[in-house]
Structure 1
Amino acid sequence: MASQSSSEFEWPVLYNYPPFYTLQTNLDTRAKQIDAWCNLILNYFKYNKLYVLDLTEALASSPLFVNSQLNRILSRETASLILNTLDSRGNLEWQDKEKDRCLVMWRTPKEWGALIYQWASDNAFINTVCTVYELHSGDDTINEEFYGLELIMVVKALQTLQNDGKAQIIQRSNPDMSDAGVKFFG
């Protein structure tokens, strides 16, 4: 999980506190601990522009769950509890039944949809069609926050716009919808 910026990710103070890696027994403390972990995961994924988490891989080697300075690793059970909390908050979607691979949504699909729609509005794409690929990787979006966004997230964002009557997805042949189009409505 490499950083996309020249500066280092700023770890919270709790990251270097050994008890942070052990699920706390006091329920109030545990709730604060889980909330701190949720914030850490979302901030880490946002900073590094990551979207997919493989839990087994992350617990083996990611600095997110493995603090080599402290020689501490978050347990799988605690990590699963935290990820399930993110799921209940709408910031995570499991990609498999085993709950090992998930999509981490540091912005919800609705938030991404709002950014995409604002771009379409600001750039005169209302009542015109563009492709999902153009949104994801096009020259017109290179300076946008959603540029390079995981394709599945682009599609989820567009689905929220479609549900709100602000866009119509025009599906093509690829199951991943990379060749789909979208028409934005004013």
Structure 2
Amino acid sequence: MGSVEKPWQYNFPPFFTIQPNIDTRKKQLEAWCRLVLDIQKQKKSHSLDVNEAQSSIFSNKEINRKLPLDGIYMVLDELCKKGHLEWKDPKTRKECLIMWRTPEEWGKLIYKYISDRSMTNTVCTLFELSNGDDTEGEEFHQLDDWLLIRALKTLEVDGKAELMGTDGVKFF
């Protein structure tokens, strides 16, 4: 899991058992959610396989503990409630899309970039936004197309952008 800072509870065995006390469980789920988002962000990955995560993110070999599958689903359901997760197939719940930033948050970040560079009232291609030389170093550089489009749709709802077909966007 690289250099992601794990919560202090990660080396505390009860962290790997869903806690019965509601207040404690709420804090536990928050810590798990933050850890999942931080790891996905570090990996720049928007896809999560539940079986793989069970033996990586939700496992601590140092203390020989794993979060049980029902606990993993509690964490993932919490991420879903907060708008950070969507199931690829809600029936099987085996793989999901993880958004360490919600589409709205990505949209605000992109719009700030456009505004800061006085690029309102201009047209950009989606490729230019996500892979162009000018966006290198920006957090949304190399953002997956599906998430970029969702982010731009949030700007469209706010009247700040208009998608033009499948490969362009005009900013207002």
* Residue 84 (structure 1) aligns with: 77
Alpha-carbon shift at residue 57 of structure 1 (Å):
1.7
Unpaired runs of at least 5, structure 2: none
* Residue 169 (structure 2) aligns with: 182
CA distance in 1, matches of 2:12, 2:33: 16
Structure 1 outlier segments of 4+, above 3 Å: none
SS at match of 1:69: coil
Unpaired runs of at least 5, structure 1: 173-179
- The normalised TM-score by structure 1 is 0.85
- The normalised TM-score by structure 2 is 0.92
* Residue 171 (structure 1) aligns with: 165
SS at match of 2:72: helix
CA distance in 1, matches of 2:161, 2:109: 13
* Residue 14 (structure 2) aligns with: 19
| Contact 2:4 2:38 (C-alpha < 8 Å) held by counterparts | no
Aligned length: 171
CA distance in 1, matches of 2:115, 2:26: 41
CA distance in 2, matches of 1:94, 1:159: 20
Deviations 1:83-119 (A, max 9, x none): 1011111121222122221121221111110111111
Q: Among 116, 119, 123, which residue is 2:113 paired with?
A: 119
Alpha-carbon shift at residue 181 of structure 1 (Å):
0.5
Identity %: 49
CA distance in 2, matches of 1:27, 1:128: 50
1:130 partner amino acid: C
Q: Among 49, 67, 71, which residue is 1:74 paired with?
A: 67
1:104-183 aligned within 5 A: 104-172=98-166, 180-183=167-170
| Alignment RMSD | 1.5
Q: Which moved more, 1:152-161 or 1:118-127?
A: 118-127
1:95 partner amino acid: K
SS at match of 1:83: helix
